[in-house]
Amino acid sequence: MASFRRTGVLSLAELAGQLPPLERLRKGPCAAIECVEEIPCNPCEEACPAGAISVGEEITSVPRLDFQRCTGCGACLAVCPGLAIFLLDLSGDRPRLTVPYELLPVPQPGEEVELLSRAGEAVGRGKVVRARRAGTTWLLTLELPSEGLLWEARGVRRGK
Ligand code: SF4
Ligand code: SF4
């Protein structure tokens, strides 16, 4: 049995093949779709202006991303009901991670926040460099102190 079925938390091994390769991330932001359950859902596919996401005719199929077609626009993050899509970026001086955020108040650029793992545990600190509204969801772009956190951090907590 996959470990996430016991723990509720996806491991990097379980995401193998779904995360963008390093050479793609060095060119700019790219989506990472951490959706592995066969559920009837496809707004990410419909929202993508680049046609980079494919669920296919069977709506319960797991979405597949064409990393080379993804422009890193963030449209899919804003429509995913599972908050299961992130943007990863290794093109600048510091790694950047964009996460969907639906709590108030919304952290603003310049604010330091605690970074949370997929299990909700504190794994470090990051700085908000961009906060943009996309419907009812906010997209927070964070500057990270290390590349390792780009694979581990998936949430944000304010005020710690
Ligand atoms: S970030 Fe934009 S281009 Fe990339 S998969 Fe999402 S919607 Fe498509
Ligand atoms: S919108 Fe989110 S939950 Fe639905 S298929 Fe796409 S990634 Fe999975």
DSSP secondary structure of the chain: --HHHHHS---TGGGTTTSPPHHHHTTS-EEEE---S--S--HHHHH-TT--EE--SSTTSPPEE-TTT-----HHHHH-TT--EEEEE-SSSS-EEEEEE--SSPP-TT-EEEEEETTS-EEEEEEEEEEEEETTEEEEEEE-S-THHHHHEEEEES--
Residue-wise pLDDT tens digits, 28-75: 999 999 999 999 999 999 999 999 999 999 999 999 999 999 999 999
Task: Give nearest CA residue, ligand 2 atom 7.
Answer: 35
Residues 61 and 101 in one domain: no
- What pLDDT score does 138 carry? 98
Q: Which of 18, 41, 59 is the best mutation target for the ligand 2 pocket, counting ligand atoms within 8 Å of the beta carbon and taking the most?
A: 41
Ligand nearest to the CA of 134: 1
Cα 4 to ligand 2 centroid, rounded to whole Å: 17
Model confidence at 19: pLDDT above 90 = yes
Domain's final residue, options 84, 114, 132? 84
Spell out which residues line ligand 1, taking CB within 6 angstroms: 31, 47-48, 50, 52-53, 65, 70-76
Residue 11 domain-assigned?
no
Q: How many domains does the chain contain in total?
A: 2
* Tokens of residue 55, six digits: 């669920």
Task: Give nearest CA residue, ligand 2 atom 4.
Answer: 41
Label residue 159 by pLDDT band (50, 70, 90).
confident
Label residue 1 by pLDDT band (50, 70, 90).
low
Q: Using CA atoms in the order 63, 33, 68, 59, what is the torsion angle rounded to 10 degrees?
A: 10
Domain's final residue, options 30, 62, 84? 84
Residue 29 domain-assigned?
yes
- What pLDDT score does 160 carry? 61
- Cβ–ligand 2 contact at 35 (below 6 Å): yes
Residue 53 domain-assigned?
yes
Report CA-CA distances (Å) from 83 to 44, 62, 77, 112.
11, 15, 7, 22
Structural domain containing residue 109: 93-160
Q: Note whether 77 and 117 are within 8 A (CB).
A: no
- What pLDDT score does 96 carry? 98
Residue-wise pLDDT tens digits, 64-114: 999 999 999 999 999 999 999 999 999 999 999 999 999 999 999 999 999
Count CA atoms closer than 13 A to 53's CA, side-chain side.
30
